[in-house]
Chain A
Amino acid sequence: MNTKQLICIGCPLGCQLQAEQNGTEVVSVKGNTCPRGESYALKELTNPTRIVSTSVRVKGGEHRMVSVKTQKDIPKEKILACMEEINGLTVTAPIVIGDVILQNVAGTGVDIVATKTVAASPSSCQDAGSRNF
């Protein structure tokens, strides 16, 4: 039996939770003020997941970068593997919000999608200054 300390993120109260675990099984959760604390502890201890968001380089776009995210939350321990795969990417404009940028990132079965629309950069005859802000 071991005890894990957690802070509940459900609300600003930030309850200090003590969860007792028997192996991987959560036996009890204490310190929570409401039921959300318990379900949070269960999730965090058995299957912690996160949404990962970052941005990737764009070729031929009106902006240099496009913001992206994992379409769903992925296991926490996959975050770095996920970043490693995303960081190698360059995408070509135009990109529309929701476009899949990368499928099945880091073997999670989750896609990386664009969270922004980036149009292709207007023709090259545009005056030099205006592409910068």
Chain B
Amino acid sequence: MYDIIIIGAGVSGTSIARELSRCKGKFCVLEKEEDVCCGTSKANSGIVHAGYDAAPGSLMAELNVQGNRMMKALSEELDFPFYQNGSFVVCTEENALPRLSELYERGQKNGVKDLQILTREEALFMEPNLCGETVAVLYAPTAGIVCPFGMNIALAENAFLNGVEFAFDTEVKEIIKKESHYQLITSKGIYEARCVVNAAGVYADRFHNMVSEKKIHITPRKGEYILLDKSAGNHVSHTIFALPGKYGKGVLVTPTVHGNLMIGPTAVDITDKEGKNTTAEGIDTIRQKAGNSVRNLPLKKVITSFAGLRAHEDGHEFLIGEVEDAPGFIDCAGIESPGLTSAPAIGVLAADLLKDKLQLEDNPSFTPERKGILNPALLTLEERNRLIQNQPAYGNIICRCEMISEGEILDAIHRPLGAKSLDGVKRRTRAGMGRCQSGFCSPRTMEILHRELKIPMEELTKCGGNSRLITGQRERVAGCSSTIL
């Protein structure tokens, strides 16, 4: 019997897990995928919002601003990339200025610090590639960018090192309310816990509705993105939003923490909770809208496109708290943007609630720090040489686009909750994320995974499940059905 089971190893689930690990108790995170950060948390804008967007007084607004304030310290404690690059909301129509002021006012009410309205000249001075029609800009210096994988993985590793268990490839099929606990029927057997946290992203309605009569509904809202090569990464230095205007809601243009340029997202409601495919219409929309706030975008430098699903709850509000007719069942549902920003605050809110409920005691051995994978590019020549002398694998470059060494990949595999798949390595190290999109490094990374984890090549996957990378050793031609003409 666990004290608490968390469903979902996304950024919300792992943030709650990490906060809970400050207390003594038996906690477990169940994840249907093979790794952390496989759902909404892996495909989003990676933006740490300032907090002027959400309705004043909403939980969204409160947690957004709180999360924003917590992010810097958390990123230092857990060693994940975060830069406070500031964001612009670009207004391109004189008659839309009142709406820009409205945003400013809302930000003030929500407690966002240092908001400013910039004139066209001030804005263009700071960001020369803003579109020519720029009239004014809402500047939020507290906004930032974060590595969504880096943050999620860091939270999970730290939770794990502080005693939280993780069960992957474990899909919850059914939840049964018992007298004083819950029974979870999963693809890997039965789990029992006194309390359950539902941090299941787009599936949160499914689990909520298993235990409650007050039904909720979550719509997967698809957002497509395009990612540009690092040579385009300096096109803008701030995160650029377009003030919704005559072209509808715009797309954002932002540098990423790794130095690429990202443009997106679209917003299309769909029904398939796994519908993470990109579409021709979506990519076209992004390409058309991107120019509305930023000019001269080098759209030829696209290296990949991807889609993520936001967990949109009908009321567009975070639902965090104990479900009224299901004591001990804590919802963490409807976590869409600004969910990533809010995650640190969500963790504290949900964990505090559970601490009170279960009267959890402090965990005296809790260690808040976690060290990420070393980035050798930040070392001096001498330091790097010392490193390679001790660990020659750091001298062997595997991913030549991102210059990732075998040493970093070995670390990704062997660290707590380490990578088991090609995407697992990619999310932890960026190997394969560059301009050639793993064309060169994938056979080499596969070889390393095979060697280190002793997984037969035929069973190596891109991202778990049935995503096998090769179909076998080369076969006898006996089975060959082809004929020679």
A interface residue numbers (CB < 8 A to B) = 76-77, 79-80, 83-84, 87-88, 127-130, 132-133
Task: Name the contact of A88 in the complex, choosing from B447, B448, B476, B480 (C-beta under 8 A).
Answer: B476
Known: A87-B474, A87-B475, A129-B396. 7 other contacts (CB 8 A): A83-B477, A84-B476, A84-B477, A128-B451, A129-B392, A132-B447, A133-B396
Count class of interface residues, chain B: 10 to 19
Task: Name the contact of A132 in the complex, choosing from B448, B474, B476 (C-beta under 8 A).
Answer: B448
Cβ-defined contact, A87 with B476, below 8 A: yes
Task: Name the contact of A133 in the complex, choosing from B444, B474, B477, B484 (C-beta under 8 A).
Answer: B444
Cβ-defined contact, B396 with A84, below 8 A: no
Q: Say if the beta carbon of B406 comes within 8 Å of chain A.
A: yes
Residues of the B chain whose Cβ atoms lie less than 8 Å from the Cβ of A133: 396, 398, 444, 447
B440 CB, nearest partner CB in chain A, Å: 10
Cβ-defined contact, B484 with A79, below 8 A: yes
Q: Say if the beta carbon of B478 comes within 8 Å of chain A.
A: yes
B390 CB, nearest partner CB in chain A, Å: 13
Task: Name the contact of A127 in the complex, choosing from B392, B447, B448 (C-beta under 8 A).
Answer: B392
Please, what's the 1-or-0 string for B68-90, where 1 marks a CB less than 8 Å from any CB in chain A? Answer: 00000000000000000000000
Cβ-closest chain A residue relative to B473 = A57
- A128-B475 Cα distance, complex, nearest whole Å: 28
Q: Say if the beta carbon of B393 comes within 8 Å of chain A.
A: yes
Cβ-defined contact, B451 with A132, below 8 A: yes
Given contacts A87-B474, A128-B451, A133-B447, contact A80 B480 (CB under 8 A): yes
List, sorted by A's number, 23 A–B pairs whose CB atoms are closer than 8 Å: A76-B484, A77-B484, A80-B477, A80-B480, A80-B482, A83-B480, A84-B476, A84-B478, A87-B474, A87-B476, A87-B477, A88-B476, A127-B392, A128-B451, A129-B392, A129-B396, A129-B406, A130-B392, A132-B444, A132-B447, A133-B396, A133-B398, A133-B447
Please, what's the 1-or-0 string for B385-409, where 1 marks a CB less than 8 Å from any CB in chain A? Answer: 0000000110010100000001000
Closest 5 CB pairs of A and B: A83-B477, A84-B477, A132-B447, A87-B476, A133-B444
Residues of the A chain whose Cβ atoms lie less than 8 Å from the Cβ of B398: 133
B285 CB, nearest partner CB in chain A, Å: 41
Cβ-defined contact, A129 with B474, below 8 A: no
Residues of the B chain whose Cβ atoms lie less than 8 Å from the Cβ of A132: 444, 447-448, 451
- A83-B398 Cα distance, complex, nearest whole Å: 33
Residues of the B chain whose Cβ atoms lie less than 8 Å from the Cβ of A76: 484
- A79-B475 Cα distance, complex, nearest whole Å: 16
B450 CB, nearest partner CB in chain A, Å: 9
A118 CB, nearest partner CB in chain B, Å: 17
